[in-house]
């Protein structure tokens, strides 16, 4: 890396990570392995690509010394076979005498055998080879891998920062920028994605409004209405991921109901759905035998239990059906 090299980083969020990595690059103290930890849509992958490009000395493009390992679409885990091939590739000589970068997306999904193979590689580091693991929860990775890696944490970005970014960079109108900044819960990439895809944003709001409407329906009506939100009845990874997205939405809506119940409307996530949230809260107040707050807390517990079932590989459709039955 040239002493006067100009580094290029993502435009928003994770400033502490940027500052740490830039200091490391300038001092030449580059770790053999990094773990980027944080929820989805906080920019971990974007930051990893930026680090790779800066290491390789040409921030506007990548060469063939960047290698990405991720699970196949129809597989739950990253296999030992794929991991061994990934390691074998990293062990080959660099094409352009630069750093060889290995990037592992969703490293939490490495199989146990794959984790062991990766650990062996980290125990025998090679010069100018850097491995970057992306993880939502570092506890899913063995302590032996964490101890041999530089762990960097990605945190949510303030809604006001996302709001300003959407207006300045994407020229969104203020009302939409505010709603997207609130909805994204500190995840700038999610706000940008929804801002660039109006149809996807409309579909999300429609699904969220449908979920709120379930509280005023009978059990059979709820099950029928669930088809408007989630139709997949398979055990596929795609179905499981979609079910997790529905649960995330349900959790956010339940929290919004609590905030409204506590007279804090300025803090709600789904500001674009305020009328529907108010209507749902009125339904809960009218139908709950105790009080609305306890009913909402039960909803949050249902979501938490549903995630456990998904982790246990229960059919995603059945998991969501049990949630809506017990709303």
Looking at the structure, tell me whether residues 241 and 278 fall in a common domain: yes
For residue 173, pLDDT over 60 is answered with yes
For residue 37, pLDDT over 90 is answered with yes
Looking at the structure, tell me whether residues 137 and 81 fall in a common domain: yes
What mean pLDDT comes out for the span 72-78?
81
Looking at the structure, tell me whether residues 116 and 192 fall in a common domain: no
Rounded to an integer, what distance in angstroms lies between the CA atom of residue 271 and that of residue 252?
11
Name, in order, each residue with C-beta under 8 angstroms of 234's C-beta and a sequence gap of 6 or more.
315, 316
Residue in 159, 104, 158, 112 with CA at minimum distance from that of residue 136: 104
What mean pLDDT comes out for the span 203-224?
95
Predicted confidence (pLDDT) per residue in 290-320, tens digit = 688 999 999 999 999 999 999 898 999 999 9
Question: Contact at 8 Å (CB) between 225 and 323?
Answer: no
Count: domains in the chain: 3
Query: What value does the mean pLDDT of the chain take?
Result: 92
Confidence at residue 209, expressed as pLDDT on a 0 to 100 scale: 97
Confidence at residue 62, expressed as pLDDT on a 0 to 100 scale: 57
For residue 249, pLDDT over 90 is answered with yes
Confidence at residue 233, expressed as pLDDT on a 0 to 100 scale: 86
Assign residue 47 the CATH number of its domain: 3.40.50.300
CA 132 to each of CA 48, 83, 105, 161: distance values in angstroms, whole numbers, following the listed order: 7, 14, 9, 27
Residue in 326, 263, 250 with CA at minimum distance from that of residue 295: 326
Confidence at residue 98, expressed as pLDDT on a 0 to 100 scale: 84
Confidence at residue 15, expressed as pLDDT on a 0 to 100 scale: 92
Residue finishing a domain among 142, 165, 196: 196
Name, in order, each residue with C-beta under 8 angstroms of 8's C-beta and a sequence gap of 6 or more.
50, 53, 54, 59, 60
For residue 288, pLDDT over 80 is answered with no
Q: How would residue 236 be classed by pLDDT, with cut points 50, 70 and 90?
A: confident
Helix-helix angle 292-311:237-261, to 10 degrees? 160
Which residue in the block uniquely carries the two structure tokens 């939100």?
Answer: 229
Query: Based on the number of CB atoms within 10 Å of its own CB, is 287 exposed (0-12), middle (13-18) or buried (19 or more)?
Result: exposed
Confidence at residue 81, expressed as pLDDT on a 0 to 100 scale: 95
Looking at the structure, tell me whether residues 169 and 187 fall in a common domain: yes
Looking at the structure, tell me whether residues 188 and 134 fall in a common domain: no
Predicted confidence (pLDDT) per residue in 82-116, tens digit = 999 999 999 988 877 889 999 999 999 999 999 99
pTM comes to: 0.84
- Mind giving me the DSSP string for 41-76? TSSHHHHHHHHHHHHHT-TT---TTEEEE---TT-S
The gap from C-alpha 296 to its chain's centroid, in whole angstroms, comes to 24
Residue 275 lies in a domain: yes
DSSP 7: P
Confidence at residue 3, expressed as pLDDT on a 0 to 100 scale: 55
Residue 10 lies in a domain: no
For residue 58, pLDDT over 80 is answered with no
Looking at the structure, tell me whether residues 20 and 147 fall in a common domain: yes
For residue 19, pLDDT over 80 is answered with yes
Confidence at residue 38, expressed as pLDDT on a 0 to 100 scale: 94
For residue 157, pLDDT over 90 is answered with yes
Sheet containing strand 150-153, strands side by side: 66-69, 100-104, 129-135, 33-37, 150-153
Looking at the structure, tell me whether residues 280 and 219 fall in a common domain: yes
Rounded to an integer, what distance in angstroms lies between the CA atom of residue 222 and that of residue 151?
44
Residue finishing a domain among 196, 227, 259: 196
Domain that holds residue 97: 15-153
């Amino acid at each position: 890396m040239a002493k006067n090299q100009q580094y290029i980083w993502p435009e928003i969020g994770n400033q502490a990570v940027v500052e740490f990595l830039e200091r490391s690059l300038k001092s030449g103290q580059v770790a053999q392995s990094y773990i980027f930890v944080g929820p989805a849509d906080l920019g971990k992958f974007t930051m990893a690509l930026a680090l790779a490009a800066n290491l390789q000395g040409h921030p506007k493009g990548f060469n063939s010394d960047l290698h990405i390992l991720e699970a196949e679409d129809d597989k739950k885990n990253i296999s030992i076979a794929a991991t061994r091939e990934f390691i074998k590739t990293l062990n080959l000589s660099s094409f352009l005498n630069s750093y060889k970068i290995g990037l592992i997306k969703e490293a939490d999904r490495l199989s146990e055998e794959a984790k062991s193979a990766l650990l062996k590689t980290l125990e025998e580091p090679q010069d100018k080879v850097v491995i970057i693991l992306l993880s939502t929860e570092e506890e899913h990775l063995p302590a032996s891998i964490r101890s041999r890696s530089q762990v960097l944490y990605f945190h949510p970005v303030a809604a006001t920062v996302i709001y300003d970014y959407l207006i300045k960079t994407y020229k969104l109108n203020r009302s939409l920028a505010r709603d997207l900044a609130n909805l994204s819960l500190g995840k700038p990439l999610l706000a940008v994605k929804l801002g660039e895809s109006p149809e996807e944003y409309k579909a999300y709001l429609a699904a969220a409004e449908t979920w709120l409407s379930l509280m005023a329906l009978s059990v059979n009506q709820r099950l029928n209405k669930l088809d408007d939100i989630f139709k997949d009845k398979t055990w596929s990874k795609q179905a499981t991921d979609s079910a997790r997205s529905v649960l995330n939405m349900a959790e956010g809506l339940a929290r919004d109901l609590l905030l409204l119940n506590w007279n804090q409307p300025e803090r709600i996530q789904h500001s674009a759905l305020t009328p529907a949230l108010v209507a749902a809260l009125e339904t809960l107040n009218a139908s709950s035998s105790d009080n609305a707050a306890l009913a909402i807390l039960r909803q949050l517990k249902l979501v938490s239990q549903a995630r456990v079932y998904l982790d246990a590989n229960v059919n995603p459709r059945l998991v969501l059906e049990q949630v809506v039955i017990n709303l």
